[in-house]
Amino acid sequence: MSISNFHDVLFPTALARGASGGPERRTEIVALASGGEARNAVWAGSRRRWDVGSVMTRLENLQALTAFFEARGGQLNGFRFRDVSDDRTGAVGADVSPIDQGLGVGDGVQTQFDLYKDYDGYARRIWLPVGESLRVAVDGAEVLGGYVVTDGAVVFDTAPPMGALVSAGFLFDCAVRFGSDRLDVSLDAFGAGRAVSVPLVEITT
């Protein structure tokens, strides 16, 4: 995934505390003459939204938020956001394992395996793994080299053999942008305040 106008920087963790949000889907619901309804998925997958405003914080954090907002040009440039409620292939808080997530089965020819996270049968494509966290295994045995990670995929120097299960575990970020070109800050107490609303919107293709 080539993201235009994207800055490969992480939204400050201290500013993300207290974020609310999650996945959003778009479904078209049509009422039928019989009293029933027909439902159709408008989007093939989900899109995530968060709001990182409204939490009381120190003025230093608000200044950091303003600086980050200005450096991104408001909605113009995207950036990384770490959703601590869903930022890894395994369970929340669990260590990453190289067998967390199956990526495919080798055929002796294929060298590239895209990164995914499975949600009970829904495969979410992961574009921004945290590089140093990635662990890879072939048939359950961890591989310590012989591959690179590029554009949300593991690319092996040598194709895994026929029938070999390729798996991986990793932390990941979301590509997001600000959801508004305006930043409203409220000074609620001496040395503290809050950003009234700071919407973040996942960048999808």
Tokens representing 68 are 């980050």
Enter the pTM of the model: 0.88
| 65 against 194, higher pLDDT | 65
- Separation between Cα atoms, residue 150 and residue 112, nearest integer Å: 9
Q: What is the reported pLDDT for 87?
A: 94
Q: What is the reported pLDDT for 18?
A: 78
**Cβ(196)–Cβ(54) below 8 Å:** yes
**Cβ(47)–Cβ(119) below 8 Å:** no
**Cβ(128)–Cβ(175) below 8 Å:** yes
The mean of the pLDDT values for the chain is 92
Q: Which of 55-64, 70-79, 184-193 has the highest mean pLDDT?
A: 70-79
Letter string b/e over residues 76-109, b meaning 16 or more CB atoms within 10 A of that residue's CB: ebbbbbbbeeebbbbeeeeebbbbbbebbebeee
